Structure 1
Amino acid sequence: MSVNDQILTNARLVLDDEVVTGSLVIKDGHIAAVEQGPISLPGVVDCQGDILMPGMIELHTDNMEKYFQPRPKVSWPSRQAALAHDAQMAASGITTVFDAVSIGDVDEQSMRHGALGEMVASLEDISRSGMSRVEHYLHLRCEVCHPDTLARFQSLLETSNLGLVSLMDHSPGQRQFVSLDAYRTYYQGKHRLDDASMDAFIERQLANSAQYSSANRQAIAAICRERGIALASHDDATVEHVAESVEYGTQVAEFPTTSEAAEASHRNGLAVMMGAPNVVRGGSHSGNIAAVELVRLGVLDVLSSDYYPAALLDAIFRIAAMEDGYSLPRAVACATRHPAEAVGLTDRGRIAAGLRADLVRVREVDGHPLVQRVWCAGQQVH
């Protein structure tokens, strides 16, 4: 064994379809061999029977935003904010993260709208400088009902780490907000608007939706197809929404709000993504379909930590512990192999010879999975 090699032994390896006790040989940042049983050599790392699974792949998280604005009206320096977010990803066992930044927030005064450029630039900065612990890609969340969305999307097309684009429509009467009463309750409370101001807000959003949503959706989808950028739908609620997503060449169905939409997406080959917090909390915070119901139907393909990074690992083990849930390898695949396949990353997401050594060592204590060590491309990052 050379000075740059590593051997992890006495681990329960989570493979594609089974869990086996064995060892991994790591060379030059990749898995060189997967061996059954222990290896006895000087310098090996004894995993003491812990679970060793692929590093998790997060396709949708806005976790970085809280570091850029830790309190209302408090902005944090961009590099420090990005590095703090990066450290939390590593500590959570996430080795590849698609950081979701929003284009066209309905609130023109929001941090999302004002800090878009800083967040994008900071991700490039920490990756280019070698300071990041894990690998970062950009996920552009495009609010199709906003007047400036297409232009701002086009201005970011040459960003070096752009990997995923999602099409959202949070206008009144659409998808997550089919009920105008629910829309009014949510946004009136969020922005503290009086009745007259809320009426004007709704009227403005409806006008923008009528003018821009369809054209922006079609234009952005066409650009993604032309450039080979993975595309996601968002909050599909009906089979008609799913048919539209299929027509646009979508690969990922983010957070379908009904079982009908989830099942239709799965039938049509879209990777159905649900939030890990939905699993941990036992349901959707907005009253939509519970993720565990989609597990029982066998149509949940991808988990996302969304706004709470630690939820991803916790959700995997909760699904594996369900009486009518998934096996551990299938549950793990929801945060590793399946997201990798959905966005075309063929070099990670599984424990197999030749792939990147993105790995998480997990120990179960009192029924809770605890991250012990994390490796990204063979380098220990936590």
Structure 2
Amino acid sequence: MRHSDAILSRLMGLHPKVIDLSLDRMHRILAALGNPERNIPPVIHIAGTNGKGSTQAMIRAGLEAAGKRVHAYTSPHLARFHERIRLAGSLIAEDDLAAILEECEAANGGVPITFFEITTAAAFLAFSRVPADYTLLEVGLGGRLDATNVIDAPRLTVITPVSIDHTQYLGETLPEIAGEKAGIIKRGVPCIVAPQAPEAREVIEARAEALAAPLHIARQDWDSYVEHGRLVYFDQKGLLDLPLPNLPGPHQIVNAGTAIAALRELGFDTAEAAVTRAQWPARMQRLTHGPLVDAAQDCELWLDGGHNPAGGEAVAATLAAMPGRPTHLVCGMLNTKDVIGYMRPLKSQVRSLIAVPIPEAEATLTAEETETAAMNAGIPATTAPDTLDAVSRIAREEPGARILICGSLYLAGVILRDNG
């Protein structure tokens, strides 16, 4: 076990709840650490339901193409915690991570604080000690009371598409959820707004107006779409004719437009690099090696971590745009998600689903529960004890098929770790 793993395990036990939205504990620990969040490079703060990670990855690719050093904070991690903290372009080193975690643990003094809060404080501490030009900060949950929302004056805020998710924390309706996301908007700070449902957009606009924050709104101030196999982006500065994003799926056209709008607001003309150099695992990622690929034989094997209804729609649209091939899902999901809502859009694109449990996830649905949800969504389904068994079965029964492992970022993380 790495030293940092032992510390992270201890930090998990500091609060009885995994999620407890409040900023009080963050302000307390940051003060104990000397307020490192006040000494980090200019912040680009990103909230939204879907597309935060991909949008952040494209903004980072664009900034780095301009020669800028970029810190980045994201969650959750897939294979190991270090993925959450990127210092000036590189994942945080093990020794550095262990040192800042111990420092935060000591500063906290054993009082209740959530795992996300204390590890976010650790990220701020790391960012404050390494020179860089920008800090990309991805919201963990919501926005208004998220642990990242302690930056008084970011350089830019970004709100990706808002949809229904995490209703137990953020509210039951789209306007309520949009209100939480809009909580990252700060007085006088420009905000890039991705395409939104009208009721979400109204809430975001009202919040921005109250804070005199300039908005750059999709479909109004900028737009992105596909024409003749190219990505077209335009705003008041002009029109760009670009290659399609290297991250697959129609939804990445929106994310690319959002990232380009952000880069242009920052004064950078690196749109092509942004859309062609971004790296973001487990978003319709083709797996090309490892035991699962061996088990798949001549089947295509893909991995995606989308897990809410909007994620299901994005996956379905991506499959619809791919060359025709019989497609089967291997799916594991958490009991905190709208499982049928995720699966329903996929019904028209897949032949079957094999349900599996998610290893090491306390909130996993059993394979039988996921199977039942799939049947209720109209997808023929069975179960398997694990992903390897499911992939092997599909490869035997329908050689040359497309297999998509999907349903949860936690499952995707296990796959990326165990499949090498």
TM-score of the two chains, using structure 1 as the length reference = 0.32
Tell which has more relative contact order, 1 or 2 (C-alpha 8 A, sep 6+). 1
Which protein is richer in strand relative to its size?
1
